[in-house]
């Protein structure tokens, strides 16, 4: 389902189409009903910027959202950064200022060893959720075997039975499973969440306006308030 947010359309040239933003559905970040901090963030940006460029959002499962963005079926993507889409997918993108730090972490259960380095995975494979191709590629560089699960519940079952050494997944996954533990001194990959787009004149204007709103909510404390409880370190 696509929810459109269009502003001042009558004041815009008729040829200017709405920017389409892909938003991956992840815990806290975005849900299928268009709730989550990603949508709250966009509302705050709208309230604190010029709002001169129309846009619409497209919330999708992670793999589909990435695929549509790579194939240019969507103009922009809210989440991750040029490290992810430039280094791993070879895309040329333009991006906003940093929204927040993020990471792919190694999760284990209480009573199990906390993974503090790539050597900590030992001989058991790491479990990766469906769509975790980036995590698999990173682990392969360090000779860490991995296996994909059809869903997070299956990986949790494998972890409880010690069939895998850890679950390697985005940090926000911990909000569905607060019992998971991780090292605060180690991440499989650290990056920043940003708004980024395929290069175009419209995208450049949209990102410039986004940055204005982002700077304003950084200054007035709204951004910190929005994300104060979303860091996995908060639990």
Class level of CATH domain 103-190: alpha beta
- As given in the structure block, the two tokens for residue 97 are 């200022």
Domain with CATH 3.40.190.10 in the chain: 2-99+194-234, 103-190
Per CATH, the homologous superfamily of domain 2-99+194-234 is: Periplasmic binding protein-like II (3.40.190.10)
Q: How far apart are the first and last CA of the chain?
A: 32
Sequence-distant (6+) residues with CB within 8 A of 182 are: 105, 106, 107, 108, 114, 115, 174, 232
Check whether 12 has a pLDDT greater than 90.
no
Q: Is the pLDDT of residue 210 over 90?
A: yes
Kind and range of the H or E run holding 167: strand 166-170
User: CA 183, 140, 175: angle at the middle one, nearest 5?
Assistant: 35
pLDDT in tens, 109-130: 999 999 999 999 987 899 998 7
Q: Is the pLDDT of residue 224 over 80?
A: yes
- Model confidence pLDDT, tens digit, residues 156-202: 999 999 999 999 999 988 888 999 999 999 999 999 999 999 999 99
Q: Which tokens sit at 198?
A: 């395929």
Percent of the chain with pLDDT over 70: 90
- Cβ distance 192 to 97 under 8 Å? no
């Amino acid at each position: 389902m696509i929810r459109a947010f269009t502003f001042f359309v009558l004041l815009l040239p008729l040829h200017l189409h709405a920017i389409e933003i892909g938003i991956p559905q992840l815990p806290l970040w975005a849900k299928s009903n268009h709730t989550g901090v990603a949508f709250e963030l966009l509302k705050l940006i709208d309230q604190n910027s010029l709002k001169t460029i129309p846009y619409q959002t497209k919330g999708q499962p992670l793999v589909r959202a990435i695929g549509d963005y790579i194939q240019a079926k969507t103009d922009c993507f809210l989440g991750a950064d040029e490290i992810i889409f430039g280094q791993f997918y070879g895309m040329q993108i333009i991006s906003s200022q940093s929204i927040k730090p993020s990471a792919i972490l190694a999760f284990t259960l209480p009573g199990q060893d906390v993974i503090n380095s790539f050597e900590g995975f030992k001989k058991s494979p790491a479990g990766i959720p469906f769509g975790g191709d980036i995590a698999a590629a990173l682990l392969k560089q360090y000779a860490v075997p991995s296996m994909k699960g059809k869903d997070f519940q299956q990986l949790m079952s494998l972890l409880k039975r010690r069939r895998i050494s850890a679950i390697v997944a985005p940090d926000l996954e911990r909000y569905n499973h607060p019992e998971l533990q991780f090292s605060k001194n180690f991440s499989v990959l650290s990056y920043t969440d940003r708004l980024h787009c395929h290069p175009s004149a419209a995208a450049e204007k949209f990102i410039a306006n986004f940055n204005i709103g982002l700077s304003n909510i950084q200054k007035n404390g709204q951004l910190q308030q929005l994300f104060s409880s979303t860091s996995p370190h908060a639990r």
